[in-house]
């Protein structure tokens, strides 16, 4: 099942693959190139084996784009940092069920901050985890690699999970975005879309070739 016309395919480039020495310029470049969201991977070296950025960097990037900042929190415990990232300018806050003791409470907290609330499913986390969350969330993020590093290869078994989550969303009748992150490129993007995804996170495939290539890279990912 493919996304409906009311949910066109969105591209959310992951700045994990950008030039960190010039992040502001990179964000402006992908904005001008036609991205829909800007994906910010926050890693703590504890929940995942890498360390990236914190709220201060999100705050510094906020003036560089009017596009939604799509902040994926790979940190534990996550709840104590939700306010800081919301205050920094995040529009979407996405959390892992394993990153805190009460995922429903985390979702409620995000909604209370006036932000879109997303739940992330790692490759080994079943879609069934969403059974009692589907009525409260705005976004489901399927990790098609194990989180922590960019440039990994797409795990094909996650296509079945994308299909399962698309069925859950359609059954709910709610306006929930289905996002996929990990190994997304010209080959895997159509597979993810065919399985039901309507938001694609792409780092390496977006930032390959430098700023002059970003618009073409995004267009290809979108299927254009």
Say how far apart CA 176 and CA 170 lie, in whole Å: 9
| Residue written as token pair 């002059």 | 212
Q: Can you give the residue range of the structural domain that contains 133?
A: 10-222
**130: which DSSP letter?**
G
Beta-carbon contacts of 4 under 8 Å, excluding residues fewer than 6 positions away, are none
Structural domain contains residue 38: yes
Average pLDDT over residues 204-211: 96
Structural domain contains residue 14: yes
| Lookup: tokens for 97 | 């069920």
Report pLDDT for 210: 97
Annotated binding residue 125 = no
pLDDT tens-digit series, residues 64-105: 999 999 999 999 999 999 999 999 999 999 999 999 999 999
Burial of 210 (0-12, 13-18, 19+ CB in 10 A): exposed
Phi, psi torsion values for 135, nearest 5 degrees: -80, -5
Which position has the higher pLDDT, 151 or 165? 165
Percent of the chain scoring above 70 in pLDDT:
96
The yes-or-no verdict on residue 5 having pLDDT over 60 is: no
Say how far apart CA 10 and CA 126 lie, in whole Å: 24
Say how far apart CA 120 and CA 114 lie, in whole Å: 19
Which range (39-43, 86-90, 100-104, 148-152) has the least confidence? 148-152
Which range (82-86, 145-149, 158-162, 168-172) has the least confidence? 145-149
**Band of residue 149 on the pLDDT scale cut at 50, 70, 90:** confident
Say how far apart CA 119 and CA 121 lie, in whole Å: 7
The yes-or-no verdict on residue 4 having pLDDT over 90 is: no
Report pLDDT for 3: 47
Structural domain contains residue 92: yes
Average pLDDT over residues 7-17: 94
Average pLDDT over residues 192-200: 98
Question: What average pLDDT does the structure give for the chain?
Answer: 95
Annotated binding residue 151 = yes
The yes-or-no verdict on residue 6 having pLDDT over 60 is: no
Annotated binding residue 204 = yes
Say how far apart CA 204 and CA 114 lie, in whole Å: 31
Catalytic residue status for 181: yes
Catalytic residue status for 36: no
Annotated binding residue 149 = yes
The yes-or-no verdict on residue 9 having pLDDT over 90 is: yes
Structural domain contains residue 76: yes
Structural domain contains residue 2: no
Annotated binding residue 41 = yes
**What SS3 class is residue 28?**
helix
The residue from 41, 70, 79, 138 that is catalytic is: 41
The residue from 36, 79, 138, 181 that is catalytic is: 181
Q: Measured over all CA atoms, what is the biggest interatomic distance in the chain, rounded to whole angstroms?
A: 45
The yes-or-no verdict on residue 40 having pLDDT over 90 is: yes
Annotated binding residue 203 = yes
Structural domain contains residue 5: no
pTM attached to this predicted model = 0.95
CATH number at residue 153: 3.20.20.70
DSSP-based helix, strand, coil % in the chain, nearest 5 = 40, 20, 40
CA angle in degrees (0–180, nearest 5) for 23-210-57? 10
Report pLDDT for 224: 67
Number of domains in the chain: 1
Beta-carbon contacts of 148 under 8 Å, excluding residues fewer than 6 positions away, are 43, 48, 49, 50, 74
**Band of residue 142 on the pLDDT scale cut at 50, 70, 90:** very high
**How many Cβ atoms from other residues are within 10 Å of residue 167's Cβ?**
13
Say how far apart CA 173 and CA 102 lie, in whole Å: 25
Annotated binding residue 104 = no
Percent of the chain scoring above 90 in pLDDT:
92
């Amino acid at each position: 099942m493919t996304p409906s016309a009311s949910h066109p395919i969105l591209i959310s480039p992951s700045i994990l693959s950008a030039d960190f020495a010039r992040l502001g310029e990179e964000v402006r470049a992908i904005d001008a190139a036609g991205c829909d969201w800007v994906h910010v991977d926050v890693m703590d070296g504890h929940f995942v084996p890498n360390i990236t950025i914190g709220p201060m960097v999100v705050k510094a990037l906020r003036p560089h784009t009017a596009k939604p900042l799509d902040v994926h929190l790979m940190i534990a415990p996550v709840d104590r940092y939700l306010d800081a990232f919301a205050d920094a300018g995040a529009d979407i806050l996405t959390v892992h069920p394993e990153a805190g003791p009460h995922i429903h409470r985390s979702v409620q907290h995000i909604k209370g901050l006036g932000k879109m609330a997303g739940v992330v499913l790692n490759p080994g986390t079943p879609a069934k985890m969403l059974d009692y969350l589907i009525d409260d969330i705005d976004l489901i993020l399927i990790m098609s690699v194990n989180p922590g590093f960019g440039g990994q290869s797409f795990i094909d078994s996650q296509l079945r999970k994308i299909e399962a989550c698309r069925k859950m969303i359609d059954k709910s009748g709610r306006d929930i975005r289905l996002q996929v992150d990990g190994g997304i490129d010209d080959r895997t993007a159509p597979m993810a879309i065919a399985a039901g995804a309507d938001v694609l996170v792409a780092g390496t495939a977006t930032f390959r070739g430098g700023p002059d290539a970003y618009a073409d890279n995004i267009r290809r990912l979108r299927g254009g």
